[in-house]
Amino acid sequence: MPTVISNTEVAGNIWLLTVEGEFSGGMGQFYMLRAWKNDPLLSRPLSIFNIKPGMIQFLYKVRGKGTMRLARLKPGDSIGLEGPFGNGFPNLKGKIALVGGGVGIAPFYYAAKQLPAADVYLGFSHEPYLVDEFRRAARRVIPKFGLSLVNDLEIGLYDAIFACGPNAMMRALAQKAEHTGTAVYVSLEKHMACGIGACLVCSVVCKEGNRKACADGPVFLAREVNFDAEYGL
Ligand SMILES: Cc1cc2nc3c(=O)[nH]c(=O)nc-3n(C[C@H](O)[C@H](O)[C@H](O)COP(=O)(O)OP(=O)(O)OC[C@H]3O[C@@H](n4cnc5c(N)ncnc54)[C@H](O)[C@@H]3O)c2cc1C
Ligand code: FES
């Protein structure tokens, strides 16, 4: 079983977990994590924050029982990791912005390392965190607070936006992009059980019918998602 190297609180309730081993994965893909036997029943999905030789990292917010258990992990503890799963962000050319709101910044450190020319927008509601780390990975990092993240973003400057964060933020970006040629890709957070397309727990209401966040996503073209039905926004 993989072993924890470190597990550090980088801001209030936000933790960075580093696990030893050789791992693979693309930007926007995720792993299912498990640091307990039966309670909670299900493993928990987390996006790849970073992969380096000999280690993988996850950035997570403590929300409930599973993430609370993760936050108790100490160096040397064992952890179950399955993955990588899902379809992540596409490999595109052109001018790209990575837009993360809250802990939705998690997939964009690894993405920034692969797209160093992309602009990275980091949205925070309280104290910012890991901004210097992002600055070492990306050419241009723009920290923002609250609603200014979407309001100030000039979508038309970009061929594509990769977004992850609160549903209202992703929907607002999709709406702003309707009047430009910009393609907006969103990474959707859904409850997951199997993680491999077998149980339908993670259904996403799309305009062409239901899709599975774990196997078809978690990254979708925003214009394909029925945000009204999905989130009642
Ligand atoms: C593909 C994918 C990647 C993710 N990547 C990250 C990541 O990198 N960092 C991170 O912090 N979180 C990420 N998440 C969310 C993370 O999986 C959940 O926060 C976690 O499963 C919560 O487990 P818990 O046992 O702590 O909380 P629970 O006890 O399961 O839930 C606590 C509260 O949070 C709500 N909640 C829990 N999970 C979700 C969810 N998926 N969507 C909406 N509401 C939820 C519940 O309704 C409840 O109110 C990701 C989710 C998905 C689907
Ligand atoms: S989590 Fe089972 S189908 Fe997606």
Residues 147-187: tens digit of each pLDDT: 778 888 999 999 999 999 998 899 999 989 988 889 999 99
Give the three-class secondary structure for 147.
Answer: coil
The alpha carbon of 29 and the centre of ligand 1 are apart by a number of angstroms equal to 15
Question: What is d(CA 218, CA 195) in angstroms, rounded to the nearest whole number?
Answer: 10
Query: Dihedrals φ, ψ of 137, to 5°?
Result: -95, -30
Cα dist. 29→21, 134, 179, 214 in Å? Answer: 17, 19, 29, 9
Q: Tell how strand 96-101 and strand 44-47 pair up.
A: unpaired
State the CB neighbour count (10 A cutoff) for residue 151: 10
Q: Is the beta carbon of 69 within 6 A of some atom in ligand 1?
A: no
Q: Is the beta carbon of 31 within 6 A of some atom in ligand 1?
A: no
Question: What is d(CA 86, CA 197) in angstroms, rounded to the nearest whole number?
Answer: 9
Question: What is d(CA 54, CA 49) in angstroms, rounded to the nearest whole number?
Answer: 14
Q: Within the chain, which residues score under 70 in pLDDT?
A: 232-233
- pLDDT score at 126: 85
- pLDDT score at 232: 62
